[in-house]
């Protein structure tokens, strides 16, 4: 059998015992913090440069409540509203040019040529780079007195739509 023993202490001794326990708990906390600072990961180490620097939680309630406002004005340059179409650089003039003329199909004999649509593609043959110069004549076809239309041959299919690289 176990015996239970009752110990009676005075109120002053009890308060002193509580103070000692809280001090031991505080010292254990400080020891753990010091161990973390010395042996912890480098990202967890923090040593305040100025020991008098207040922390966020040391601020009095009045300072936390105060908010100051400041009016700031500035001017900025508005970007241009029109977006310019990107322009592709011309292919170098020193490259050989091979001209192809693609006529539209089923053109009547009385059609009048009014211009040309020219497309330049950079082509490459092994050890030879040249410019493929495609000329597609435009014709105006008069069907009757009131109606006319413009006819042009379709552009051959390209590996990159709207690009200037030809097939290799």
Does residue 50 sit within a domain?
Answer: no
Does residue 61 sit within a domain?
Answer: no
Q: What angle do CA 107, 112, 114 make, to 5 degrees?
A: 115
Q: Which of the two residues, 161 and 94, has the higher pLDDT score?
A: 94
Does residue 135 sit within a domain?
Answer: yes
Nearest to 98 by CA among 132, 137, 135, 134: 132
Q: Which helix (H) or strand (E) holds 148?
A: strand 148-152
Q: CB of 117 within 8 A of CB of 111?
A: no
Domain count, the chain: 2
Domain hosting 17: range is 9-45
- pTM exceeds cut of 0.75: no
* The pLDDT of residue 158: 85
Nearest to 100 by CA among 130, 74, 72, 126: 130
Q: Could you read off the pLDDT of 2-51 as tens digits, one per residue?
A: 667 888 888 899 999 999 999 999 999 999 988 888 887 766 555 566 66
């Amino acid at each position: 059998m176990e015996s239970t023993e009752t110990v009676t202490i005075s109120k002053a001794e009890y308060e002193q015992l509580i103070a000692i326990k809280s001090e031991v708990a505080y010292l254990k906390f400080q020891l753990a913090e010091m161990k973390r600072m010395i042996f912890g990961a480098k990202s967890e180490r923090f040593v305040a440069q100025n020991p008098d620097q207040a922390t966020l939680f040391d601020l009095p309630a009045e300072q936390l409540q105060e908010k100051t406002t400041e009016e700031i004005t500035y001017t900025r340059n508005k970007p241009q509203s029109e977006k310019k179409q990107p322009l592709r650089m011309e292919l170098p003039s020193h490259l050989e040019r091979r001209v192809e003329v693609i006529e539209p199909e089923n053109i009547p004999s009385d059609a009048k040529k009014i211009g040309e649509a020219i497309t330049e593609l950079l082509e490459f043959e092994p050890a030879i780079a040249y410019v493929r110069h495609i000329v597609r004549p435009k014709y105006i076809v008069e069907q009757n007195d009131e109606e006319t239309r413009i006819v042009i041959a379709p552009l051959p299919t390209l590996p990159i739509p709207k690009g200037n690289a030809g097939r290799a």
